[in-house]
Chain A
C-alpha cells in the first residue's frame, strides 16, 4: 500500500502587533536568541522592526514566546567611535569570528518625563550570517549603563 506524504506548506509571514502599528515579518527574518535577554530569558526569538517614523530607533520585538519589546539604537549613532571587543566566549556563542561583521544594538529606555538613554555597556549583538543574537556583558566596559539621548 502506498503512503501519501502531505507536503508541509512553508510557514507564511507572521503579523506582529507592536505598540505603534502592525508589521509583517517572514520567519526567515527572525533572530534566534538562545539565552533570551537578561530578565527575559524565555524570549528566544525576536524580530527587528524599523520604520521611518522611528528612525534612528528600531524595535526589537519578541515573537512566539512571552511578550516583550525594546526600542534599540545603533550605538554608533550615539557615539560614533563606539567600539566593543568581544571575547572568545561571546564570539563562539554568536558563531562569529573576530572578522565577522555584526549588528550592534543598544537598548533604549525612558523615564516618565521623557528623558531617554541608551545602554552602551551591555549591547545586543546579532550575527546576521547565523541569525543569532545575545546581549553581551563585557567585563571591563568603560561605556555607561545609561548614556543620555537628546531628542531629535
Chain B
C-alpha cells in the first residue's frame, strides 16, 4: 500500500484519470472527493465487501441447490436478453 500524508485540499492522482482530494479533516472523519472517468466505479469498501459476500453465497447456493431441480431431457436455448 502506498501511504501519503495529505492536508486539506491536497490531491492524489491514480493512473491518469482518477483523483482523490481531501476536502475536510474533522473529528468524525475525513471527507474525500473522488473524480474518476465515467466507466470507473467508486464504492465505499464495506459496501463492496457486503455485496461480494452476498454474491458468493448466492453462487454457492446456485451451484449446490439448482441440480436438485427436475431436469428436462432436451437441450434448451438461451436468448438475447430483452426487456419486458
Q: Which residues of A contact B (CB under 8 A)?
A: 15-16, 18-26, 28-29, 31, 34-35, 37-40, 47-51, 53-54, 59, 68-71, 74, 88-90, 92-93, 101-103, 107-111, 119, 121-122, 126, 128, 131, 134-135, 137, 145-146
Contact = CB atoms under 8 A, between A and B. Distances in A.
Given A68-B59, A71-B66, A39 B77 contact: no
A56 to B, nearest CB: 11
Interface of B: 36, 38-43, 47-48, 50-59, 61-63, 65-67, 69-72, 75-84
Given A19-B66, A23-B76, A37-B55, A137 B48 contact: yes
B67 A20 contact: yes
Contacts of A89: 36, 38, 40-42
A92 B83 contact: no
Contacts of A39: 51-53, 55-56, 59
Contact of A70 (B39, B59, B75): B59
A66 to B, nearest CB: 10
Nearest to A61: B78
A71 B58 contact: yes
Contacts of A90: 41
21 contacts: A16-B78, A20-B67, A21-B76, A24-B77, A26-B78, A29-B81, A38-B51, A39-B51, A39-B52, A40-B55, A70-B62, A89-B38, A89-B41, A92-B39, A93-B38, A93-B39, A101-B83, A102-B83, A107-B58, A109-B61, A128-B82
